[in-house]
Amino acid sequence: MLVVTRYVALISALLLFTTAVDGALARKEWWKTTLVYQIWPRGFQDSDGDGEGDLKGIAIRLDYIEDLKVQTICLSPIYPSPLIDSGYDISNYTDVHPLFGDLDDFDVLVRESHNRGLKVILDIVPNHSSDQHEWFQLSARNVEPYSDYYIWANGDTDDDGNNIPPTNWLSTYSDKDGSAWTWHDGRRQWYYHKFHSSQPDLNLRNERVIEELMNIFDFWLKRNVDGFRINAVPYFFEDEYLRDEPAAGKGAHTFGLSESTALLYRFREHINNWSTNNGTWKFLIAESYDSDANLITYYGNDTHEGIAPFNYKFITHVRNNSDANHIKNILDSWLNLLPRNTSTNWVLSNHDNSRAASRIGLNRVDGLHMLSLLLPGQAYTYYGEEIAMLDAKVPWNRTIDPMGCFRGEKEFERFSRDPARTPMQWNSAKSAGFTMNDTTYLPVHPNYIYRNVEAQLAAKRSNLLTYKRLATLRKLPIFVNGDYEFATLNNKRVLVLKRSLENYPAYIVVINLGIRQERVNLTSIYPDLNAVLRTVVESSNALHVTITVPRDNFILTANAALVLSDDEKKETSEPATSSTPTSNVSDEDPSTIKSTVTTEGAISSSDDTAKKKTSTSSSDHVTPKTGSGTTKKPNDAALYHPSVLNVMINLAISVIGITQILAVT
């Protein structure tokens, strides 16, 4: 009896250990496939009627956010700021702008979010502060230790004795002469600002400044935030010797320096140390429009873990005239660049760019969401994208973005980012339900009368309803762990994404990017699928939707998209070769292009060995060959091997059990 009791206790302890290990690993990796909702606090929800969004407003809308099935909220800057650059000009990194509320409101928002299982991440701006920040005020007066907190230089004088800037470096928010240097009368020196003259660049070669930044991370970590978006990474460092750029404005000495990447590694190490000490795993993501070669270095190297960069390919490379081949090639080439054991993310739009519905096409939004939400890795949704909000027309006299303001009345519309930052469209009431005020911080898009959350929730089909179904679907193991494969059909007008996972029915996303109806036949690319596929999700613009479709002959109306499932296969156990023969191939592109890739971003080629291993994980994978000759690899997100652990423990239990039995006998 004693032996039996010991045996049961041992098994219980081992099972508890297994569960604890699995749980700990899952917690550590929670961010790898999270669906992030980016909130622009000024434009989301006003709670006090001043026409400006605020933290209490976000808290009011948490039910909505939870119902969207997103898992993480990313807040654009909420800190005290003169708001010259919409909050990216921070005058105090460890407080909340009174416009948005206070720290208590923030704590409530975090607590309420966590109660719903939602994570909260903040936007941190290490490159520059506001000139209203105390550091700059003291630095301008040469007060120690702040005198070297910013980048000051003496400059030169021209032949007429006028002060001229130290270098030819240019500002992004360029005024008439475009210089990134502004003369400070008090200190009688120039200070460097890549962005607006009210946003002086911090001197990140000063260890005291780095310490300040680490303290800022700690301040918010103590308030239970779940991670950070790191802003403007390629601008962190500039040439130490202040050399002129060979081509002014091209960034040879002011953009993408390797020191910037190295600082990311330090941030990562600092946050990881926090995680280790506190047992709460944090999420980091780096904002950068740098070259692919530099972006890949963000992931880390043999000695340092890095911070994954945003994948902005949808923003930088996909337009309303992009065909299926173009999109396939863009996504494929990025995924193939990824280092082994790393994952990526999908961003259709953000606060710095035209909205996806305006940039790529209103009718394409659902199909794009099928890609961004059903590809492996994280996905990001910019507020309003789920209802396909469009850029609003913001007149000159309402323009507040410095990118627009500096260009003047004739040119501002080409540069202003205000059109993508207008108030969330909640309903058809006054000011779209964003505020009780008649006046809103930016004008509401006039289409709010019919394009709003309330209307889309009530509709039989809508962008919002499609989005919610996709957000739910992406949590299935096949989308978390499965491999992916792109193909194109119908002369580059139809894009196909297949997700597959062993012992799991395949899912196929089919998107008609063309403006005409397309008859689709999947048999040429996937002959081993069931003859009949189940319609899982359809785009809100799809017509003639049926519960099932024949694999070899179905219709996609213009810009329509479907998620199909092969899930009857297991029940029928139908051999792949017994699929219904092709009956209609007339519309098929003879040059159909298909490539199979694993979710690790490693295409089936010999260059696998050249890919750097950057993860700290010790897991290396054998690469089995499938019958189709395609190299498949397990998904990076499934690296915990709980099943292996379980097998080992079961084995240990068996051995111990046999030993005990032998001892009794």
- Smallest separation, CB 407 to Ca ion (Å): 23
- Closer to Ca ion by CB, 228 or 441: give it: 441
Contact footprint for Ca ion (CB under 5 A):
46, 48, 50, 52, 54, 127, 201, 235
Is the Cβ–Cβ distance between 518 and 587 less than 8 Å?
A: yes
- Closer to Ca ion by CB, 54 or 600: give it: 54
- Smallest separation, CB 45 to Ca ion (Å): 8
Q: Quick count: other Cβ atoms within 10 Å of Cβ 516? A: 11
- Smallest separation, CB 272 to Ca ion (Å): 24
Is the Cβ–Cβ distance between 352 and 360 less than 8 Å?
A: no
- Smallest separation, CB 534 to Ca ion (Å): 46
- Smallest separation, CB 415 to Ca ion (Å): 21
Is the Cβ–Cβ distance between 149 and 209 less than 8 Å?
A: yes
- Closer to Ca ion by CB, 129 or 381: give it: 129
- Closer to Ca ion by CB, 234 or 402: give it: 234
- Closer to Ca ion by CB, 125 or 387: give it: 125
Cα separation of 383 and 389, whole Å?
9
Cα separation of 120 and 386, whole Å?
19
- Closer to Ca ion by CB, 204 or 371: give it: 204
Cα separation of 431 and 5, whole Å?
68
- Closer to Ca ion by CB, 43 or 550: give it: 43
Task: Output the six-digit token pair for 567.
Answer: 């899930």
* Eight-class DSSP state of 442: S
> What backbone phi and psi angles, to 5 degrees, belong to 433?
75, 5
- Smallest separation, CB 129 to Ca ion (Å): 11
* Secondary structure string (H, E, C) spanning 328-349: HHHHHHHHHHCCECCCCEEECC
- Closer to Ca ion by CB, 66 or 239: give it: 239
- Which amino acid is it at 566? D
- Closer to Ca ion by CB, 46 or 366: give it: 46
Strands 594-597 and 548-550: unpaired
- Smallest separation, CB 305 to Ca ion (Å): 23
Residue by residue, DSSP assigns 113-135 as: HHHTT-EEEEEE--SB--TTSHH
Is the Cβ–Cβ distance between 508 and 479 less than 8 Å?
A: no
- Closer to Ca ion by CB, 433 or 482: give it: 433
H or E element at residue 472:
helix 463-473
Cα separation of 236 and 429, whole Å?
44
- Smallest separation, CB 466 to Ca ion (Å): 31
Strands 378-382 and 35-39: parallel
Cα separation of 49 and 32, whole Å?
38
- Which amino acid is it at 406? F
- Which amino acid is it at 37? Y
- Smallest separation, CB 270 to Ca ion (Å): 19
H or E element at residue 183:
strand 181-184
- Smallest separation, CB 437 to Ca ion (Å): 9
Is the Cβ–Cβ distance between 91 and 79 less than 8 Å?
A: yes
